[in-house]
């Protein structure tokens, strides 16, 4: 492979345009990554594409088809290394060769063990000029759900919490509607539409009776997951709505009560019995591995405090999104953002990196990765 100037502003410009296209496939391409691609020649974009849905042509194919015959001797910019294996669709490398593309610039290397860099190496061996690593860090971040799933066999977990400025998620009476304003809540619905699954603990399900659906027009619903070790969820809970595809999964401990299980299944839930982990609760590592086997690449953990701590303590959180409202609730008994036993000393604290701050009306979101 040849390695051109990765900091060339022209190459970075087109890769940024390809990155913008990836967001159009979020929420519909999974378990495949939401890749973006551009065909460029003479300073003009001749074709663009993104991976719109699993099982349909990849981003490169859409862009090449749009460019048509003009793709010959053109440049292709793609956010992820082109695939070189036969999956539900043919290898993108074959489409690139057939189109006669002269140069391929890609951002992140594909972590899929079936690929292992094979796409770029194959194209280079066929005489295509290949330049990897253009905006590699940004491309890897954009495809982080796919990367986590490919490398760890589980979904990428985002821990999301809404709290007052003094860290309370509800009042002392358990009332949590509404901690944050409409702009922040609307963004959370967008997150639900982008991610594969959304999870709450049974305590939150009992206290708030949430639907956990995406209520934005044209967006899909995530899989709703309730972690309920002892099957306390009532069969009339809103989260069980069988009409809200793709359904609800209730994860419980082994040997669940037969009558409770049947009641939840009649209400439309799938009940998944799993081993118990720390504290006698559902083993979350086993649960996430099972979700990974089902092709779930991303999970939004929305509450409550005990589930948040259990995920953090097990090392299963990849990033956090904390929404803070400019209000003070008080009360020692009011629910905190994270519960559990906590750490004994500050040097044991879970560290976050690359924090970003974003405003939603009067509310503030702190977004950071877990180190």
Beta strands, E only, the chain: 36-41, 44-50, 75-80, 103-108, 129-131, 156-164, 197-201, 223-227, 248-252, 269-273, 298-303, 319-325, 352-360, 363-370
Q: Is 56 annotated as catalytic?
A: no
User: How many other CB atoms are there within 10 angstroms of residue 311's CB atom?
Assistant: 24
Q: Is the dihedral of CA 288, 293, 299, 303 positive or negative?
A: negative
Structure tokens at 154: 């589980």
Q: How far apart are CA 267 and CA 248, in angstroms?
A: 10
Sheet of 103-108, strand order: 44-50, 36-41, 75-80, 103-108, 129-131
Structure tokens at 308: 């948040």
Task: Give CA–CA dist 209/236, Å, rounded.
Answer: 9
Distance from CA of residue 150 to its chain's centroid?
Answer: 13
Written as one string, the DSSP assignment of 60-95 is HHHHHHHHGGGGTT-EEEEEEPPP-S-SSS--HHHH
Give, as one character, the DSSP assignment of residue 336: B
Q: Counting every residue, how long is the chain?
A: 371
- CA 124/CA 158 separation, integer angstroms: 37
| 227, 213 Cβ separation under 8 angstroms | no
Q: DSSP secondary structure string, 300-314?
A: EEEE-HHHHHHHHHT
d(CA 110, CA 319) in angstroms, rounded, equals 21
Catalytic one of 56, 60, 290, 319 = 60
**Does the N-terminal peptide bond of residue 31 adopt cis geometry, omega within 30 degrees of 0?**
yes
Active-site residue numbers?
60
């Amino acid at each position: 492979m040849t390695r051109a100037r990765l900091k060339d502003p022209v190459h970075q410009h087109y890769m940024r345009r390809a990155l913008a296209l990836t967001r159009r496939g979020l929420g519909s391409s999974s378990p495949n990554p939401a890749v973006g691609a551009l065909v460029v020649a003479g300073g003009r974009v001749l074709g663009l594409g993104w991976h719109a849905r699993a099982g349909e042509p990849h981003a490169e194919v859409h862009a090449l088809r749009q460019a048509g015959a003009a793709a010959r001797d053109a440049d292709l910019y793609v956010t992820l290394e082109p695939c070189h294996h036969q999956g539900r669709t043919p290898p993108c490398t074959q489409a690139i060769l057939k189109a006669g593309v002269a140069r391929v610039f890609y951002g992140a290397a594909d972590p899929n063990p079936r690929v292992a860099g094979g796409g770029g190496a194959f194209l280079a061996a066929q005489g295509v000029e290949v330049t990897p690593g253009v905006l590699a860090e940004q491309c890897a971040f954009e495809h982080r759900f796919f990367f986590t799933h490919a490398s760890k066999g589980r979904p990428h977990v985002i821990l999301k919490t809404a709290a007052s400025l003094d860290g309370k998620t509800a009042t002392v009476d358990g009332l949590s509607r509404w901690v944050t304003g409409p702009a922040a809540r609307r963004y959370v619905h967008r997150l639900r539409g982008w991610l594969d699954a959304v999870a709450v603990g049974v305590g939150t399900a009992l206290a708030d009776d949430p639907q956990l659906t995406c209520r934005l027009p044209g967006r899909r619903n995530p899989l709703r997951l309730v972690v309920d070790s002892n099957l306390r969820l009532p069969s009339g809970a809103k989260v069980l709505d069988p009409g809200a595809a793709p359904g609800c999964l209730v994860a419980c401990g082994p040997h669940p009560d037969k009558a409770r299980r049947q009641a939840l299944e009649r209400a439309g839930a799938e009940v998944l019995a799993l081993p118990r982990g720390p504290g006698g609760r559902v083993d979350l590592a086993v649960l996430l591995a099972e979700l990974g086997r089902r092709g779930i690449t991303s999970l939004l953990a929305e509450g409550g405090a005990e589930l948040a701590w259990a995920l953090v303590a097990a090392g299963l959180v990849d990033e956090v999104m904390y929404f803070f409202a400019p209000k003070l609730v008080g009360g020692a008994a009011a629910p905190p953002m994270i519960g559990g036993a906590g750490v004994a000393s500050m040097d044991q604290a879970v560290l976050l990196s690359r924090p970003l701050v974003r405003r939603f009306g009067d509310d503030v979101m702190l977004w950071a990765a877990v180190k």
